[in-house]
A and B are shown apart, each in its own frame.
Chain A
Amino acid sequence: MRVFFVGGLLSYRALFNWINPWVLIPSFLIAPLFQILLFAYIGRAAHLESDKFYVIGNALQYAAIPCLFAMGNTIVNEKRQQTLGAVLATPARRIPLFVGRALPVMANGMLVAAFAFVAGGALLGISVPLGAVAPLALVIVLTAFSCTGLGLITAAVGLRVVDTAVFGNILFGLLLIFCGVNVPLDQLPGWMSTTAQALPLTHGIEAARRLADGASVSRVGGLLAAEAAIGTAYIVLGYTLLRVVEFESRRLATLDRA
């Protein structure tokens, strides 16, 4: 999966190649499904949690992935094509500029998550109460939103160093371990579960799990609010960082350094 966001992007043509089914199916359907299956089976081998636990955790994480990478990639690509300087020279507002480009990718992430949910659930024989479907969709959207802040931070890193891929993948890995995607938070050492409370994704996953177990939306309202608040905080942080780095790179002339 990761090199999808890297290797292929060595070629800006990959942007167009996305539409190609030979890329689409392996990257967005096979990979998430097998991540679910992998952890569900590890869970079975370790006698830990139910299949449903892993379907929800990993599917939601897949909603977050494009948000982590999309904006950083946009920037790296523009840098490679040397159009970044031109774009930044325009007076356009920065947030709509970058978010606008990333939006289709985020929508894609949500679709992938939805697919992973349904297909993973079907394969492992998991049923979710019908009434939980709409709230779960909401959780997916909310999680994608809250991970966008991390995406902005990655983008800021992309403005400064050439390769966002390493950074984005490391974020992915940290979310995988910390946010209760596969490891129940109470099984993590104390400092890790404490850190998890301050990360996006954690509360979203928890809310989704409770919803799938039949809890009503009002019961998980606190979790949803926490996820939204954390997401907003990261977006503010990411935006600030992006502006700072943009200013710095104008000063240091690192924009078009290929």
Chain B
Amino acid sequence: MKILRVLALGWAMHFKMLSRSAFDGVLGVVWPLFFATTAFFMFRAGAPSSTLLYASLGASVMGIWSATSVAASSALQRERWSGTLELLVGVPTHFALVLMPITIAMSTIGIYSMAATLLWGRFLFGIDLHIVHPVLFVLAIPATIASIGMLGFLLSVSVVRYRTAWALGNAMEYPVWLVCGFLVPLSLLPGFVRPISWALAPTWGIRAIRESALGGSPLPDLGVCCALGLGYGTLGVLLVETVLRSARRTATLSLT
């Protein structure tokens, strides 16, 4: 009960902060739209119109990952800069419980971008959103958001220790878009990439979203997505203590 309260309040506070930032808020919505627009133009030029919906669904999740990968690294750098990282570490609550809601709040911010992308596609490119399994679709979205948030959590654990790790988070933005099949079917990618795709929860989240919208059986995908998210979370929790100890030893919690 107490754990849930900490998670919920942490999420609410950080969601509030993120919503109030021009950078995370406005740009978070607009940025993926640039890529989505480019992709829509490209698919409209070359491919049959059915791929447009496929692309639109994938593109809508891009923003969730962007918000998480970019924010998970930069926001913690910001906490370090503003001196709050030390305060967060100095509380008696387990640091995993402090960090997890922060990254989940980040991926939740991505929901604005998701809605914006779908509407953008609908009104500017005439991509009709017809959903076959509405209930599963609505389930798949929070599951994807949560598992992406967990991936961000795992990523941010490393940022706590390494002051320069924020750059890594930024650099992860495009590779995951590509490898998880946001816009491109996995079958086009070289074979050796496939195990990497399978290990990444967004791959399964998008599959679940697509199958629930276009028809299919999203439940197995949903299951894998959640299991992976849980896996990242567990791994992160196990790593947190070690990482924090090391940060306290090497004095990287503050800027100076």
Contact = CB atoms under 8 A, between A and B. Distances in A.
Interface of A: 1-4, 6-8, 10-11, 13, 17, 20, 22-23, 26-27, 30-31, 34-35, 37-39, 41-49, 163, 165-166, 169-170, 172-174, 176-177, 181-184, 187-188
A49 B42 CA distance: 9
A156 B27 CA distance: 20
Contacts of A166: 22-23, 26-27
B42 A43 contact: yes
B46 A34 contact: no
Nearest to A23: B167
10 contacts: A1-B173, A11-B255, A34-B175, A35-B174, A41-B178, A44-B188, A45-B184, A46-B45, A46-B47, A49-B46
A26 B171 contact: yes
Contact of B170 (A31, A48, A174, A184): A31
Contacts of B33: 173
A45 B77 contact: no
B27 A183 contact: no
A2 B170 contact: yes
Contacts of B255: 11, 13
A26 B185 CA distance: 25
A13 B81 CA distance: 10
B166 A46 contact: no
Contact of A4 (B41, B43, B170): B170
A181 B39 CA distance: 12
A46 B41 CA distance: 10
Contacts of B234: none
Given A31-B170, A41-B188, A163-B22, 20 more contacts: A3-B169, A6-B74, A8-B166, A17-B164, A22-B165, A22-B168, A26-B168, A30-B175, A31-B171, A34-B174, A34-B178, A38-B184, A39-B42, A46-B47, A47-B46, A48-B42, A165-B23, A166-B26, A173-B30, A177-B37
B198 interface: no
Contacts of A35: 174
B45 A183 contact: yes
A2 B30 contact: no
Contacts of A176: 34-35, 38
